[in-house]
Structure 1
Amino acid sequence: MAIINNHRLQFYYTKLQFRSLFRLQHPEFLIMGDGSTKCSVPTNKLEAQVLEAILQRESKGTSIKSINMIILKFPKIDESLRKCKVIFEQFDEDKSGAIDLKELKHCFEKLQVKFTNEEINEIFKTCDLNDDMGISFNEFIVLLCLVYLLKNDHAASQSNSRMGIPDLEATFETVVESFVFLDSNKDGHVSKNEMIRAIEETKQSDGLTAMKRFEEMDWDKNGMVNFKEFLFAFTRWVGIEDDDED
């Protein structure tokens, strides 16, 4: 019979006590298998919808099997996202370099994307990262990808296009698949440990690289990365910046 080390037994006992106490004091949080905590309650209706859409998508799995597969797709993704600049400039009607709320509504009308005024306002607020009442090019890419994810309905699947821009939508699907791959436990968030495991499996990068990449994504520093945070980081990884030259 194996002898259990008393120090290890005490460690697990203390850990169990901590988890029980934490659940009682913070019922809005989940304690994950790796000991990290994740907020179980989205802060607004849009976040809840995005999380639900991600969880549904994760149940279908992903064709991406490694970080290297994602990296190899970077050039094609970069090229596709840069073509989005044409759409951005088309709806930046006053040529201010940003899309305001009124212009965004015109954009949705043109793309035949149907949302209520409340939903449009929430999408705008969520993607206006620096709260300057304007959507920059980088933010616009994130916004369109969120719309793509949320518009995963029956009508769209029948027409093979959700927004009338199939080439760009194919790129968004690759981005979604990349997130699904990284979120190995399929809980709708990418944890630090998940990022480290994914990068270390390549045997070409170490844990420090993984930590750096995770910190680039986790801009609210809560120890977990949701899909929106991932999108903002992903656009930078492939080389898209707001101040890029045409």
Structure 2
Amino acid sequence: MGGIVGKPESATSTWMPETKLEAKMVEAMQRRAAEGTALKSFNSIILKFPKIDDSLRNCKAIFEKFDEDSNGTIDHEELKKCFHKLEIKFTEEEINDLFEACDINKDMGMKFNEFIVLLCLVYLLKDDPTALRAKSRMGMPKLEATFETLVDAFVFLDKNKDGYVSRSEMTQAVTESGEGSTGRIAIKRFEEMDWDKNGMVNFKEFLFAFTRWCGVGENEDEEEGEEKN
């Protein structure tokens, strides 16, 4: 995700989004970062895992509603119907970008954990009145607090407010928590987030890692193939 001019950790480096969707994610996260975060430590994020896990698992009913053929995945056409029913206005290109971004296993279908990531991206990117009504029909109001916590967590990690989390930022966040073996923990967590191994983590990659940290998708054959990268 993204291309870079210079070294990732340098003060003068410029990280360039590779897709329009990634650019929108970065812009949205930069706006949210300007508002600040209430989180004070990485430990405070960890303590929220159980509550977030319960909330995300409640998305299962939403997932099953839009999985019309009940095959355990939402394909491209089902996603288009989902947005149409909810009256969420996305262009064909945006729908394609969202589907491709969230189908991280590239099996032409979004599984439950991938669908959760999509819901959070929709929440982040769509904040106009029409989208707010759509969120209500989707059941989003019940999830807003959870999604806000996820946004807050990313903002806490993104120390320089550029819309990405670097290895050094992750190390700083974990060190601030006063955990033992901070370097090892930070590197392990960062590697779990850095899906494409390019040295920088965007919000989508963070969400996928977070669903795994919380255990969402366990025992549902949803982690199969996730170790390939």
TM interval, short-chain normalised: 0.7 to 0.9
State the alpha-carbon separation in 2 of the partners of residues 180 and 116 from structure 1.
Answer: 28
Tell me the secondary structure at the aligned position of residue 58 of structure 2.
Answer: helix
State the alpha-carbon separation in 2 of the partners of residues 106 and 162 from structure 1.
Answer: 13
Q: Given residue 144 of structure 2, which amino acid in structure 1 is its aligned partner?
A: E
State the alpha-carbon separation in 1 of the partners of residues 103 and 13 from structure 2.
Answer: 24
Task: Give the structure 1 partner of residue 191 of structure 2.
Answer: 215
- What is the RMSD of the two structures over their aligned residues, measured on CA atoms? 2.2
Q: Which has the higher contact order (CA 8 A, sep 6+)?
A: 2
Task: Give the structure 2 partner of residue 134 of structure 1.
Answer: 109
Aligned residues: 215
**1:1-246 correspondence runs (5 A):** 29-31=5-7, 34-35=9-10, 40-153=15-128, 155=129, 163-164=135-136, 165-205=140-180, 206-241=182-217, 243-244=219-220
Distance of aligned partners of 1:234 and 1:106 in 2 relative to their CA distance in 1, 3 Å threshold: same
Task: Give the structure 1 partner of residue 226 of structure 2.
Answer: none
State the alpha-carbon separation in 2 of the partners of residues 186 and 85 from structure 1.
Answer: 33
Q: CA deviation at 1:31?
A: 4.5
State the alpha-carbon separation in 2 of the partners of residues 30 and 238 from structure 1.
Answer: 35
Runs of at least 5 residues in structure 1 that lack an aligned partner in the other structure: 1-26
Q: Does the 8 Å CA contact 2:68/2:78 hold for their aligned counterparts? A: yes
State the alpha-carbon separation in 2 of the partners of residues 131 and 240 from structure 1.
Answer: 19
State the alpha-carbon separation in 2 of the partners of residues 156 and 74 from structure 1.
Answer: 31
State the alpha-carbon separation in 2 of the partners of residues 84 and 228 from structure 1.
Answer: 18
State the alpha-carbon separation in 1 of the partners of residues 41 and 68 from structure 2.
Answer: 41
State the alpha-carbon separation in 2 of the partners of residues 110 and 65 from structure 1.
Answer: 39
Q: Given residue 99 of structure 2, which amino acid in structure 1 is its aligned partner?
A: F
Share of identical aligned residues, percent?
Answer: 60
Q: Given residue 191 of structure 2, which amino acid in structure 1 is its aligned partner?
A: E
Q: CA deviation at 1:30?
A: 4.8
Q: Does the 8 Å CA contact 2:174/2:186 hold for their aligned counterparts? A: yes
Q: Rg: which structure is higher?
A: 1
TM-score, normalised to structure 1's length? 0.81
Q: Does the 8 Å CA contact 2:45/2:153 hold for their aligned counterparts? A: yes
State the alpha-carbon separation in 2 of the partners of residues 242 and 38 from structure 1.
Answer: 38
